Amino acid sequence: MEVVIVPDAVAGGELIAEAIATLVRRKPDALLGVATGSTPLPIYEALAAKVRSGAVDASRARICQLDEYVGLPAGHPESYRSVVLREVVEPLGLGEQSFMGPDGAAEDVQAACEAYDRALREAGGVDLQLLGIGTDGHIGFNEPCSSLASRTRIKTLTQQTREDNARFFDSLDEVPHHVITQGIGTILEARHLVLLATGEGKADAVAHAVEGPVAALVPASALQLHPHATVVVDEAAAAKLKLADYFRATYAAKPAWQGL
């Protein structure tokens, strides 16, 4: 696991956007796994700016969802399908044919989960998966004590996660109780995992995930098992890291050819 400490969220977004651009230049039809929420917005804004300027041609890139609410219709403004189309697909100049995600409105949710897992494999696997981290250490919607070998499945949200997401709805009552999420085992199959965390509210979760033991209690700690996992954090989110100075030194000495 590589830990990169950046000054702020904008710097983190630019760094990760350039890593994605480098990947797309090398593999134009790369499958990019995206996360939702406010944290990754600087990534998408920086990447869209690169597309508009001609610095990268993303016209053949493919986008896939990490998770989806259960029960919200596809056209609901807070369904993750709508959010990804609005914040990622459209700004990159892509069409819906470039996008894939689980069906949160399916009558048979379990079948929809299995179908999405299968679709990711048939698409050749995710080349780069973006991740955020919850205040309780969750990734995707794999809440604490999720199996580290789990596949795409339905999960019940904790009260904390529903409260954290209530800012996107008119009230807490409108936040769904269930989601479809890529499981930790599914996430770990991506070729490169990139987690972005910003703000002091994520400092404890980051420290437990990066420097603590690999444990289902902190789902993000599973990134320690991945051969190519990158954790990008701003100074506030890095505040609880005991090895922060070491992480700064190793990144400063990193050969440029290695990339992110």
**Strands of the chain, DSSP E:** 2-6, 31-34, 62-65, 67-69, 99-100, 128-131, 153-156, 178-181, 192-197, 229-234
Task: Look up 143 and say whether it is catalytic.
Answer: yes
Number of alpha carbons in the 13 Å side-chain half-sphere of residue 139: 35
The length of the chain, given as a count of residues: 260
Q: Is 57 a catalytic residue?
A: no
Indicate the range of 9-13, 72-76, 141-145, 212-216 predicted with least confidence.
Answer: 72-76
Which candidate, 239, 206, 236, 200, places its Cα nearest to that of 220?
206
pLDDT tens figures, 149-180? 999 999 998 888 889 889 889 999 999 999 99
Catalytic annotation, pick one of 18, 87, 103, 138: 138
Distances 205 to 10, 12, 99, 187 between C-alpha atoms, Å: 21, 18, 30, 18
Inform me whether the pLDDT recorded for 74 exceeds 80.
Answer: no
Active site residue 204: no
Active site annotation includes 108:
no
The single residue listed with the structure tokens 């969802």 is 65
* Per-residue pLDDT at 71 exceeds 80: yes
Pick the catalytic residue from 14, 18, 68, 143. Answer: 143
Of 18, 136, 164, 234, the active-site residue reads 136
CB 94 within 8 Å of CB 63: yes
Contact 144, 137 (CB under 8 A): yes
The structure's pTM equals: 0.94
The two structure tokens encoding residue 19: 């890593």
Examine the pLDDT at 208 and tell me if it is beyond 90.
yes
DSSP string, 131-184: E---TTS-BTTB-TT--TT--SEEEEPPHHHHHHHGGGSSSGGGS-SEEEE--H
